[in-house]
Amino acid sequence: MLLFDDTIAAISTPPGRGGIGVIRLSGSQSTKILTKLAPKADLTAIQKAQLVEIYDPSSSFLDQAIAVYFQNPKSYTGQDVVEISCHGSPFILSRLLGLCLKLGARAATPGEFTMRAFVSGRIDLTQAEAVRDLIDAQTDYQSRLASRQLKGELSNYLQPIKAELLEIIVHLESAVEFVEENLNTSSIETLAKHIAGLVKKLKRLADSYQFGRIVRSGVKLAIVGRPNVGKSSFFNVLLQKDRAIVTDIPGTTRDSLVEQASLNGIPVHLIDTAGIRQTSDIIEKIGIERSYTAMIDADLVLQLIDGSTDLTYEDKNLLTKCFDNPVPFALIINKADLELKVTPEDLIKLNPNKITEKNIFTVSAKTYQGFDELQKNLVSSFFQKDFSSQEDTLILDARHFSLISNTIEELHEGVERFREGYSEEVALCHLHLALKKLGEITGETTIEDILGQIFATFCVGK
């Protein structure tokens, strides 16, 4: 059983030196510890910042700080919470935390403040996970999605589904209790239709996970092509800094470079690969093999083509590998600032089944021509749908996806048991399991081991 009757303390700002550092306490001893550290602190000033002088009770003045007291239950954790903002010296923060521990607090474990908020009912489990996602967000889109979930978007979407399922269960339980005969065919089909409506709503959520996973984890994007088509220049433009060495000498890039960037709010892991060609150079051969490996491991392959020259054997050979590779690909015609000898129409003619206008982009890594369109449309082309502006609820977490998929399976099993002639009790078992799975998403029904796994991924002090 989870017990939070003690007081915890932690440094809630990142490690290192800064202008301000924050010590956070939660628990019944928080105010007592504050008054020992700052004897002149006013405990009647609830949710108001007050300037205080912090003392080491056994010695002397330590620092001047801002203290805020949040009284239970109207605090983040639902307990008495004290936040002390002092100067961001690692020494001062470490000493102040040590004093808190000496005065009766315990060092908080990762995510323990947010776990207390969940246990006290201040937030549900999806909102707690959104706190972590908001802290980890690296793009504006990630931040917006995490903020929406923090406001309870997923919980609000699931609530009417759970209410409808509970209504069905109550109806069937009543039938078991008061009706001796099993449901007739007409009643079963009416029930199946009702459950099918719930499944449709849940399936929409489950289908969003493919994109939600990419939003959260990022797209692994491999840039490939023969030497001197402009891969490294293209890589640098997407990255918005000169990371890869650019020369006119073929084979300059001999190993894969990996960097993080953002495309229209979606995080991407950019991989600049060695130019693919026939070579006798042993080191270059190893780099080329790694290029092929990157193509297989990527979520999306970008083959660059030098549009200012005719297609070569190496271009066509690499195109064939893209066709045979199960990973989606896009073709980038580079050097659009020069007279183009390769057009989108030329590429489509090579394989109309694999190449369309949607997966061809024309750019210039020298003048940046076409990059706005590329960044705006590349990810939506990959998914064959524009998700970047949609406001629908998305599933970002593998745990949520698994539980929703399990819920759908249990609902299908319940309907099938009815149609196979089993009694209501058998079908009800599956419907009860479906309701339990939905409850696990928001934390209404869960186990301590799962909570431990979730909150262990949080940073200390949150």
**Range with the lowest mean pLDDT among 67-81, 169-183, 192-206, 310-324?**
169-183
Residue 277: pLDDT above 70? no
**CATH value at residue 373:** 3.40.50.300
Averaged pLDDT, 26-38: 94
Q: Is residue 299 part of a domain?
A: yes
Residue 22 maps to a domain? yes
Residue 401 and residue 372 share a domain: no
pLDDT at 254: 43
Same domain, 346 and 225: yes
User: Are both 178 and 271 inside the same structural domain?
Assistant: no
Q: Mean of the pLDDT values across residues 112-128? A: 89
Residue 253 has pLDDT above 50, yes or no: no
**Which two three-digit tokens encode residue 278?**
């026939």
Q: Which of 394, 444, 90 is nearest to 265 (CA)?
A: 394
Same domain flag for 366 and 233: yes
Tell me the pLDDT tens digit for each residue of 395-423: 888 899 999 999 999 999 988 887 877 77
Query: Cα–Cα distances in Å, from 353 out to 15, 347, 349, 357?
Result: 53, 11, 9, 11
Percent share of the chain, pLDDT over 90: 31
Q: What average pLDDT is seen over the chain?
A: 83
CA angle 411, 413, 414 (to 5 degrees): 65
Q: CATH number for the domain including 196? A: 1.20.120.430
- The reply to whether 154 and 255 lie within a common domain is no
3-state secondary structure at position 282: helix
Specify whether 184 is located in the same domain as 237: no
Q: Specify whether 234 is located in the same domain as 305.
A: yes
> For the chain, how many structural domains are there in total?
3
Domain carrying residue 319: 220-383
Same-domain check for residues 22 and 118: yes
Query: Predicted confidence band at 284 (pLDDT cuts at 50, 70, 90)?
Result: low
Q: Measured on CA atoms in the order 448, 453, 454, 456, is the torsion positive or negative? A: positive
Tens-place pLDDT, residues 363-400: 888 898 988 888 878 776 666 555 545 567 888 888 99
Contact 182, 424 (CB under 8 A): yes
CA angle, residues 214, 219, 225, in degrees to nearest 5: 155
pLDDT at 248 over 50: no
Question: What average pLDDT does the segment 212-228 reach?
Answer: 82
Q: Same structural domain for residues 242 and 370?
A: yes
Cα torsion through 232, 234, 238, 239, rounded to 10: 20
Q: Which of 188-192, 274-278, 327-331, 436-440 has the highest mean pLDDT?
A: 436-440
Domain assignment present for residue 1? The answer is no
Query: pTM of the full predicted structure?
Result: 0.72
Which is more confident, 242 or 5? 5
Mean pLDDT of 43-56: 93
CATH for 39: 3.30.1360.120
Q: Give residue 288's pLDDT band: very low, low, confident or very high (50, 70, 90).
A: low
The pLDDT assigned to 251 comes to 46
Q: What pLDDT sits at residue 69?
A: 96
C-beta separation of 227 from 241 below 8 A? no
Same domain, 232 and 306: yes
| CB of 132 closer than 8 Å to CB of 60 | no
pLDDT at 426: 82
pLDDT(29) > 60:
yes
Query: According to the model, what pLDDT value does residue 83 have?
Result: 96
158-210 pLDDT tens trace: 999 999 998 888 877 776 655 554 555 557 788 888 899 999 999 999 988 88
How far apart are alpha carbons 70 and 79 in whole angstroms? 8
Would 456 be classed as within a structural domain? no
Q: Are 2 and 448 in contact (CB under 8 A)?
A: yes
Query: How far is 215 from 249, CA to CA, in rounded Å?
Result: 37
Q: Is residue 290 in some structural domain? A: yes
Q: Is residue 366 part of a domain?
A: yes
pLDDT at 292 over 50: yes
Here the tokens at position 364 are 């210039």
DSSP 352-378: TTT--GGGEEE--TTT-TTHHHHHHHH
Residue 22 in this model has a pLDDT that exceeds 70 = yes
Give Rg (Cα) of the chain. 29
pLDDT band at 324 (very low <50, low <70, confident <90, very high): confident
Quickly state the pLDDT bin for 250 (edges 50, 70, 90): very low
Residue 84 lies in a domain: yes
Look-up: residue for tokens 């206008």?
Answer: 357
Least Cα distance to 47 among 10, 21, 74 occurs for 74
Q: Is the pLDDT of residue 105 over 60?
A: yes
My answer on whether 23 and 148 are in the same domain is no
- 293 and 342 housed in the same domain: yes
For residue 244, the model assigns a pLDDT of: 43
Helices 424-442 and 153-178: crossing angle in degrees, nearest 10, is 160
| pLDDT score at 419 | 81
Q: Which of 8-17, 25-34, 52-61, 176-185 has the lowest mean pLDDT?
A: 176-185
Q: Mean pLDDT check: name the lowest of 10-24, 84-98, 366-380.
A: 366-380
Q: How far is CA 248 from the centre of its chain?
A: 40
